[in-house]
Structure 1
Amino acid sequence: MGTAIGAIPRHTAYLLRLSFVLLLFIFASIDKTSALGRFRNGRYDDGFLGEPSKFESLRRKPEPEDKWFEQKLDHFGQKNKELTWKQRYFVNDEFYRNDRTAPVFLMIGGEGEASKRWMSEGAWIKYAEHFGALCFQLEHRFYGKSHPTSDLSTKNLVYLTSEQALSDLANFIRSMKKEYNMNDNQKWIVFGGSYPGSLAAWAREKFPDLIHGAISSSGPLLAKVDFKGKIHIF
């Protein structure tokens, strides 16, 4: 008996059924909390920096411990100039050659909790291995575990500005240079993507005496109030 017009050959039907089963398996295994579920209003819940990889096996070393830096609450006002708070940071000295010319890399935190995964993964770690650099990551004020104030009231959110964040970076660099007995020949390079990318470029411009270079990935440097073109990015 001949094959009816429009009928699907048996082997093709088998492949289609197999493909359908595989698709069901893939969609069932998607972690919605770490993928689609975290994307809202044009951005991820933890900012655009995110994680370098979701695969545990790619980690090169155990996660670093939380370290705390005594940061100024207000870098500009006179009223609260003596008030301080604990800002979280991480260190990776695995590749640090610890000599008078070794570079120092600083990953800038942004609008989300700082990820410890960045301390063992990502292109900047490969750069650190190549150049023998010491690596830091500083969490942005008011995000993650870095809480300058007890609550997020309007009177306290006046301290959540990019200007304060930039001065946080400068104060941190000066303190780490003393703590690690660094000299001026050791060049600091800052890294950031998206908003932290902006901070990286601005920090290099604002503090050229402290920061030798900046890697600003997708950093929006020129502010625009009504940026309608953003909708076409996503």
Structure 2
Amino acid sequence: MSPYFLNSKILSQQLSSQTTKDKLPEKYGPFYFDQPVDHFSSDTTTFKHRYWANTDAYTAGGPVILYNAGEVAADERSFYVINSSMAELARELNGIVIVMEHRFYGESMPALNYSAKSLATLNTKQALADIASFITDLKLPNLDIELPSAPETKYIVYGGSYSGNLAAWMRQKYPQIVFAAIPSSAPVQMSYNFYQYFDPIRRYGPDHCIQAIHSVITYVDHILFSSLQHPISALKNKFGAADLEHNDDFAERKLNQ
């Protein structure tokens, strides 16, 4: 795992507590961009796409560092515009740093609900087009000089994990407007059942920890694959998931307890 990703995780934890006592200055946002709900339809309906921007260090010729917050409401990550490796790089290069929220997270809602019909536009193709739209059409309200369009202005797309995937795919799909991408811990090869993600833990983790994980998995599988409803219900209840009807939903659930 890269140092950037680890630092981002630590910073995210710090910012979680920071947001309870501090507020990002209003000059950095949030701002709202009229984003097409469907980039690949004749329908011209738009939604308010939320973002933050730090233009303090910008001088003519500087780059724009663009970060899509990925699969989370971007409120905490909005602080990255002033406190992150991206913000440091922007200061060094006399550039701009932008944090944009991912569609269907936080306040960036293309629809009023999460129905299957609404979620049809929650996909990678649309998310990449969102980033491209930011690059080509966004006018920053907190920048008092004209920002040349790409490729004259160099856009560097940042990201970690899924957000890193988006960064890498942006450079591949839109090389004419994306100068560079910095993806961290980004599993760019799509896979339906990506069990390889856990291989480094299985191979390099402490033996006693790996044995404990195996024991827990074996125990849980033994219960879930049985036909005895009481032990299954008791197991789900122990993890605060008694409301989940299907066992595979329980097995895939990310638990916060």
Instruction: State the TM-score, normalizing by the size of structure 1.
Output: 0.70
Measure, in 2, the Cα distance between the counterparts of 1:203 and 1:227. 22
Select the structure that is richer in helix.
2
Q: Count residues in correspondence.
A: 182
Q: How far apart are 1:53 and its partner, in Å?
A: 2.9
Any gaps of 5 or more consecutive residues in structure 1?
1-47
Where does residue 122 of structure 2 map in the other structure?
160
1:117 is aligned, of 75, 79, 82, to 79
Q: How far apart are 1:178 and its partner, in Å?
A: 8.9
Measure, in 1, the Cα distance between the counterparts of 2:36 and 2:200. 36
Measure, in 1, the Cα distance between the counterparts of 2:100 and 2:140. 17
Measure, in 1, the Cα distance between the counterparts of 2:121 and 2:197. 27
Q: How far apart are 1:181 and its partner, in Å?
A: 3.5
Deviations 1:13-53 (A, max 9, x none): xxxxxxxxxxxxxxxxxxxxxxxxxxxxxxxxxxx797273
2:186 is aligned, of 219, 222, 231, to 219
Q: Indicate the percent of aligned positions where both proteins have the same amino acid.
A: 34
Where does residue 62 of structure 1 map in the other structure?
25
Aligned to 2:117, the other structure's residue is in SS state: helix
1:76 is aligned, of 26, 37, 40, to 40
Higher relative contact order (CA 8 A, sep 6+): 1
Deviations 1:90-124 (A, max 9, x none): 01012112x1x211110112000112211111111
**What is the letter of the counterpart of residue 111 of structure 1?**
E
Any gaps of 5 or more consecutive residues in structure 2?
1-8, 202-257
Where does residue 223 of structure 2 map in the other structure?
none
Q: How far apart are 1:233 and its partner, in Å?
A: 5.4
Measure, in 2, the Cα distance between the counterparts of 1:170 and 1:49. 29
**What is the letter of the counterpart of residue 186 of structure 1?**
T
Is the alpha carbon distance of 1:130 and 1:52 closer, same or farther for their aligned partners in structure 2, counting shifts above 3 Å?
A: farther
Question: Equivalences for 1:12-91 in 2 at 5 Å?
Answer: 51=12, 53-54=14-15, 56=18, 62=25, 64-78=28-42, 81-91=43-53
Is the alpha carbon distance of 1:221 and 1:207 closer, same or farther for their aligned partners in structure 2, counting shifts above 3 Å?
A: same
Measure, in 2, the Cα distance between the counterparts of 1:142 and 1:49. 25
